[in-house]
Amino acid sequence: MTRPRLLVVDDHQLLRAAVVDLLVQAGFEVAGEAADGADAVALAKELDPDVVLMDLRMPVLGGLDATRLIKDACPDIQVVLLTAFESPALQQQAQEAGCFAYLVKGCPPGDLRLTLHEAMAWRRSLLPPAGSPSVEA
Amino acid sequence: MVLCRDVTEQRRAEELLRASQRQLAEAQRIAQVGSWEWDLETDKLTVSDELCRLFGLPVGIRMTMAEGVAAVIHPADQERVATALGRIRDDPSPFALEHRIIRPDGDVRTVLARGEGVADENGRLVRFIGTDQDITDRRRADAERRRLLNRVYEAQEGQDRRLAADLHDGHVQSLAAIGFKLEQARLRLGGSGSPEVDELLWQVTKDLSAEVTALRRTIGRLRPLVLVEDGLEAALREEAKSACNRAALATCEVVSELDGRLDPVVETALFRVAQQALANVVEHASATHAEVAIDCTGKGVRLRVSDDGCGFDPDHVQAIADIAHFGLIAMRERVEALGGRFRVTTAPGHGTVVEASLPLTVATEGPGA
C-alpha cells in the first residue's frame, strides 16, 4: 500500500515545519504545504492528496471556507482541521463544511497520527479499486 | 386713657422667627432644596422662595398643583408625575419621586421630590408637605462615573483580547510545534533508544500537551471564544462545566430561556459576573449544587447564580469590601455602570444568590470615543 499523501496547511511557519517533520518521520508523504486557504484549495486540486491537514484561522481564506471549496471540487479528499480554537460551534461548523475530524493543537501527537490514518483509510475506501476501468461520460 | 402693653417678648419672638426663616431660606439655598405645601381641597400650592428659584419661577408666585405640573415638569415625565400624584392623594405615607423639570430659560434639571401627607383632627388627609431637591449635578456625576467605568471595562476587555491573541498566535503555536518536535524525536529514536529515554520523551510530550491545554484555557478566560462564537448560553454552560471540574460540586446546571444572541456588551458583562460568581462558589462556598439561570424579562435580561453552600454574612463582607473581597464590588460596579441592578442574597449556612439585571441593549462609546 502506498504511503498516505498529505497536504499540510498552516500560516504559522514554525508549527507547519514541525508538523511536516513529524509526519514524514511517522511515515506519511507530505505532498505539499500551504500557508493560507486559497493556496490550499489550489494545491489540493493539483496534488490530489488523501488528506488535507488544515488550520482554521489563516490569511486570505480561512480553513472552513477552504474546506468547503475543496469538498466541492474533490469530494473524496478528506480534511482534518487542526486548530488552537476549542469551540462547540466551530466543531459544528467544521462538520457542516465537510471536515473529517476536528483536532485541537496540543492534543497528544498520537491522536493526530491516528486520525490522519483513519481519514486516509476512509478516503481510499471511497476510491475505485486500482486497475478498474475508468468510465468516461 | 392710655393703655400700655409690654411687647418686648412679642418683638423678640418675631425677631427669632424672622431669624429662623432667614436661616431656613439660607439652608435651602445652600442645599438647593425648596419646600412646598399642597392643599388637597383647593389644589393650591404654596412654595418657598428657593423652590421658585429652583424652578426658575417668580418668587411669590401663586399656582395650583395642576398649573405647576403643566408649567415646569418635563413633558416626557408629566404623565408619570401626574399618575404618581393621583396615587398619593389617598396615601399619606412618605413618598419620593425623581423627575425632570424645564426652566423658562430651557435649562433641564433633575429634581428629587419628597413629601408626606398631613391629616386633620378627624384623620382626613388634607394636604401634603414636602421638598424638591435639585440633584442634577449628582445625576450628571453618576452618569460620568458610569461612562468612565465603562471605558475602563472596554479598555480591560481590549487589553485581554490583545493578550489572548498574542498568546494564541505566538506561544500556543510554538509550544504545539515543540510538542510535535519532541514526538518526532521519540519516533526517530524508535527501538534504538533506551526505554528510559523513550519514556522520558513520552512524559515530556504529555506534560507539554497538558500545558498547552492549560494555556488555551487561560486564553479562553481572557477572551472566551465560546462567548464570541456561540453566545452567552454556551459560554455559561462551559463555565458551569469548568466550575464542576474545579470544585466538589455534584451539579452545576444552566437554565436558560434565551432565544438568540444579545448585545455583545451585555453578553460580556453578564458572562464576567457569572464567571466571578462561579469562582466564588468554587473557592468559598463549599456547595454541593449550583445553578446558573438566565432569562429575558421584557426590556431586560436577568442572570441568577445560586448555590446551596455555606453562605456568608453580608455585613462582614461589606466591612472588608475595600479589598474587593469576593469581587462583589467589581460585579456590582460592572452591572450598575451599564444601568443595571445587582443584588446578593445570602446568610451563613443558607447559600448565596447573585442576581444581575441589565437592559437588553446598552449605549456605550466606541473604542475611539
Taking the CA atoms of A82, A87, A88 and A93 in sequence, report the sign of the dihedral they define.
negative
Measured torsion, CA atoms of residues B201, B205, B210, B215, in degrees rounded to the nearest 10: 130
Q: What is the pTM of this model?
A: 0.65
pLDDT for A80-112, tens place per residue?
999 988 777 788 889 999 999 999 888 877 888
Residues B104 and B156 in one domain: no
Residues B354 and B237 in one domain: yes
Judge: A84–B213 Cβ closer than 8 Å, yes or no.
no
- Pick the residue from chain B with its C-alpha nearest to A12: B173
- Shortest distance between the Cα of B191 and any Cα of chain A, in A, equals 14
Percentage of residues of chain B with pLDDT beyond 90: 30
Q: Is residue A114 part of a domain?
A: no
pLDDT for B59-70, tens place per residue?
888 899 889 888
Judge: A84–B173 Cβ closer than 8 Å, yes or no.
yes
> Which parts of A1-104 are beta strand (E)?
5-9, 29-34, 51-54, 78-83, 101-104
Per the structure, how many domains does chain B have? 3
Q: Which residues does chain B have within 8 Å of residue A22's beta carbon, measured at their own beta carbons?
A: 180-181, 183-184, 187
Q: Which residues contact A48 (CB under 8 A, 6 or more apart)?
A: A5, A74, A77
d(CA B44, CA B46): 7
| Helix and strand numbers, DSSP H then E, in chain A | 5, 5
Structural domain ending residue among the three candidates B205, B223, B241: B223
pLDDT bracket for residue B325 (50, 70, 90): low
Residue B365, pLDDT > 60, answer: no
Q: Which set of grid coordinates corresponds to residue B106? A: 430651557
- Pick the residue from chain A with its C-alpha nearest to B172: A84
CA B259 to mean position of chain CA atoms: 24
Short-list A26, A21, A14, CA closest to A117: A26
Query: Of all helices (H) and strands (E), which one includes residue B2?
Result: none
Instruction: Residue A69: give its domain's CATH number.
Output: 3.40.50.2300
**Residue of A16, A19, A64, A86 to mutate, interface with B, max B Cβ within 10 Å:** A86
pLDDT at B323: 45
Residues B54 and B80 in one domain: yes
Residue B11, pLDDT > 80, answer: yes
* Contact between residue B81 and residue B110 where contact means Cβ atoms under 8 Å apart: no
Q: Is residue A58 part of a domain?
A: yes
Short-list B149, B163, B343, CA closest to B265: B149
Judge: B226–A87 Cβ closer than 8 Å, yes or no.
yes
Residues B74 and B146 in one domain: no
Structural domain ending residue among the three candidates B194, B223, B252: B223
**Environment class of residue A64 by beta-carbon count within 10 Å: exposed (0-12), middle (13-18) or buried (19+)?**
buried
Instruction: Residue B328: give its domain's CATH number.
Output: 3.30.565.10
Q: Is residue A11 part of a domain?
A: yes
- Note down the domain range covering B336: 232-364
Taking the CA atoms of B217, B221, B222 and B226 in sequence, report the sign of the dihedral they define.
positive
C-alpha distances out from residue B10 to B6, B14, B29, B243, Å: 8, 6, 28, 77
Q: Is residue A123 part of a domain?
A: no
Q: Is A96 on the interface with B (CB under 8 A)?
A: no
Judge: B176–A106 Cβ closer than 8 Å, yes or no.
yes
Residues B344 and B279 in one domain: yes
Residues B207 and B236 in one domain: no
Residues B210 and B241 in one domain: no
pLDDT for B187-199, tens place per residue?
888 767 788 888 8
DSSP assignment of B100-148 equals EEE-TTS-EEEEEEEEEEEE-TTS-EEEEEEEEEE-HHHHHHHHHHHHH
Residues B162 and B255 in one domain: no
Among A18, A89, A106, the residue with its CB nearest the CB of B216 is A106
Percentage of residues of chain B with pLDDT beyond 70: 94
d(CA B50, CA B59): 8
- Note down the domain range covering A90: 5-107
Residues B260 and B316 in one domain: yes
Phi-psi region of B3 (alpha: psi -120 to 50; beta: other; left: phi over 0): beta
pLDDT at A77: 93
Judge: A18–B184 Cβ closer than 8 Å, yes or no.
yes
Residues B338 and B357 in one domain: yes
Short-list B250, B239, B238, CA closest to B309: B250
pLDDT at B322: 45
Structural domain ending residue among the three candidates B189, B205, B223: B223
- Longest CA span, chain B: 142
Q: Is residue B152 part of a domain?
A: yes
Residues B96 and B156 in one domain: no
Q: Is residue B18 part of a domain?
A: no
pLDDT for B247-265, tens place per residue?
778 889 999 988 888 888 8
Per the structure, how many domains does chain A have? 1
3-class secondary structure, B360: coil
